[in-house]
Structure 1
């Protein structure tokens, strides 16, 4: 009996392991629709608050909570079903992710404040709703970019460990 493994079979097996590892990493990434759905909920809630009507505010809060629960469920299930190996996320990955997150949060705050203050100064009606709408677009696009960046970091690190 020959215990030798054919190099081609070993290469195919290692390639398949790498492909499946990358598949798990990509599955864990949050889908783009999630960020847009959150953006719509933020805009609707802000419009309800800015309406200054108790009934509309109550409906807005109810829809915001219900919508949040509905959109978070499938995303949290997918994230739990594809746990990442502890060694995959190293200190360099965490540092890069935190820098990206901090940058996104500063950009969101800046866009929001600049838009809101400009609209208020110009006397535009419903300035908060418009400012949140502008910020929500940046939020949805920015989070998707950050998720792609973090996924690329994890895939690169996975390949280097494989």
Structure 2
């Protein structure tokens, strides 16, 4: 095979991988949607009013279902686990754990200080963390997946 043909084939493989990676990442609207749904759900539960909790729970379930269906329909491909690797999985886990830690620490602190609606107030920075951090997480995962070698270990 002439070197130019090999170079063209590699360029095509890189372009297709980039297309798969771009298609598989969560869209930018995903993070704000999850943040808003989370805050509304927590606020409805924290209201302690039965009908507000019921409506909030139903809206949360419907909204989350709609978000998931939209993301699944958009993602026509699924990323192989070896493309993301352990570093990608650890980044996702660290992101989630950091947000949970912030939310719990702030919520318990606000509750100890007898601040009204401590869980809802604690969810606000967590939702902001989803919106801001989600964009950075997706950027990191994109770079990570595109940096992997084209050849598989299979």
Q: TM-score range by the shorter chain?
A: 0.7 to 0.9
Does structure 1 residue 57 correspond to structure 2 residue 53?
A: yes
Higher mean C-alpha deviation, range 140-149 or range 18-27: 140-149
- 1:145 CA displacement: 2.1
| Contact 1:111–1:135, Cα closer than 8 Å, also in 2 | yes
List structure 1 runs of 4+ shifted beyond 6 angstroms.
none
Q: Which of 25, 30, 42 is equivalent to 2:26?
A: 30
Q: What 5-or-longer segments of structure 2 have no aligned partner? A: none
Higher mean C-alpha deviation, range 60-69 or range 148-157: 148-157
Q: Which of 124, 137, 145 is equivalent to 2:128?
A: 137
When the two chains are superposed, the root-mean-square deviation of aligned CA atoms in Å is 2.3
Q: Which of 82, 89, 93 is equivalent to 1:89?
A: 82
Q: Which has the larger radius of gyration?
A: 1
Describe the superposition over 1:62-88 as per-residue Cα deviations: whole angstroms up to 9, x where unpaired: 110111111111211233x1234x5x8
TM-score normalised per structure 1 = 0.81
TM-score normalised per structure 2 = 0.84
The total of aligned residue pairs comes to: 152
Q: What 5-or-longer segments of structure 1 have no aligned partner? A: none
